[in-house]
Amino acid sequence: MPLLFAQVGKSLLRRTDDGRVLNWNVDDDDSLCTLQEAFEKIDPRLGFNIELKFIDHAVYLTRDLTRALEAVLKVVYEHANGRPIIFSTFQPDAAQLLRKLQTAYPTTCSPVPWNQVFFLTTGGTETSDDVRRNSLDEAIKLCLASGLQGIVSDVKGVFRNPSAVPSIKASNLSLLTYGRLNNVPEAVYLQHLMGVDGVIVDLVEEITEAVSDFITPTSVAGEPRQVKVRARPNFSQRELSFLLKLVPELVQH
């Protein structure tokens, strides 16, 4: 039988916050917490966006999807303690099945705070063998047919097809976006004008400060803090298309 030989290199090092340099050990320094541990250790006021990942282009049997999804739902039911949760996945069959399986895990809260399933899509920026993954229009069809609550799209897909946003809103679906462009304040503001409900960003503090111009927290002594949101300008689709043409680099890069 063939033998494999590995070359032994230098030990890996890591630097601590106080400046010390220590050996890096994968067993001790790169352990991952479980979903249950995350629920137990993170502030219960914070919501979770649980993305369910599956191998692209793989064909899954229903029983295999069911086994994987039920394992996640069991932990959520037993340890989420009512915190708001959104499930999202690029796998259309998993999204549909998850929506059905949730009825097996009822809670005493009404409405169920974590009963939110969103379909992840590239919004047409990539092509898949599964037509349901290839456009925002197909994402809308899937959500309506399966009782899903919303769509999470690549922001480029939204910029390339701005007319899909009114269709999504008219279908009573929520729309979130992801992508590197969401770290550009101008791109986030443009989505606000278009009617996008939320953005997933890396630079949370920077983007929060950048959009504070149209979301202004106010407080009155002795009263709870309130948030005033400036009304969106009422742009037509033609005007929004013109705005998009002013920033072509947002779509092309």
pLDDT computed for residue 113 by the predictor: 45
State residue 133's pLDDT score. Answer: 94
Q: Does residue 140 surpass a pLDDT of 80?
A: yes
pLDDT recorded at residue 102: 79
Q: Is residue 19 included in any domain, yes or no?
A: no
Confidence label for 138 from pLDDT (cuts 50, 70 and 90): very high
Residue 21 lies in a domain: no
Is residue 4, in this structure, part of any structural domain at all? no
Residue 112: how many other CB atoms lie within 10 Å: 14
Q: In this prediction, what percent of the chain has a pLDDT beyond 70? A: 69
Residues near 4 by beta carbon (within 8 Å), at least 6 away in sequence: none
3 falls in which pLDDT band (50, 70, 90)?
Answer: very low
What pLDDT band is residue 32 in, cutting at 50, 70 and 90? low
Q: Is there a domain that residue 73 lies in?
A: yes
Q: Does any domain span residue 248?
A: yes
pLDDT digits (tens, 9 = 90+) for 105-137: 554 333 344 468 999 999 999 998 899 999 999
Instruction: Give me the pLDDT at residue 105, please.
Output: 56
- pTM here? 0.74
Residue 26 lies in a domain: no
- At 224 the pLDDT is 42
Give the model's pLDDT for residue 119. 97
User: What pLDDT score does 184 carry?
Assistant: 85
* CA–CA gap between residue 55 and residue 227 (Å, rounded): 41
Q: Is position 10 within any domain?
A: no
Q: Find the CATH number of the domain harbouring 96.
A: 3.20.20.190
Does the structure show a pLDDT above 80 at 25?
no
User: pLDDT at position 18, please?
Assistant: 74
CB-based burial label for 249 (10 Å; 0-12, 13-18, 19+): exposed
Residue at 5 is within a domain: no
Q: Please compute the mean of the pLDDT values over residues 53-58 and round it to a whole number.
A: 88
| pLDDT score at 232 | 52
**Banded pLDDT at 226 (limits 50, 70, 90):** very low
What is the span of the domain harbouring residue 47?
Answer: 33-252
Is residue 186 predicted with pLDDT exceeding 60?
yes
| Total structural domains within the chain | 1
Q: SS3 sequence, 186-227?
A: HHHHHHHHHCCCEECCCCHHHHHHHHCCCEEEECCCCCCCEE
- Position 10 scores a pLDDT of 60
Task: Spell out a b/e string for 160-186, using b for 16 or more CB atoms within 10 Å of the CB, else e.
Answer: bbbebbeebeeeebbbbbbbebbbbee
Residue 196 pLDDT exceeds 80? yes
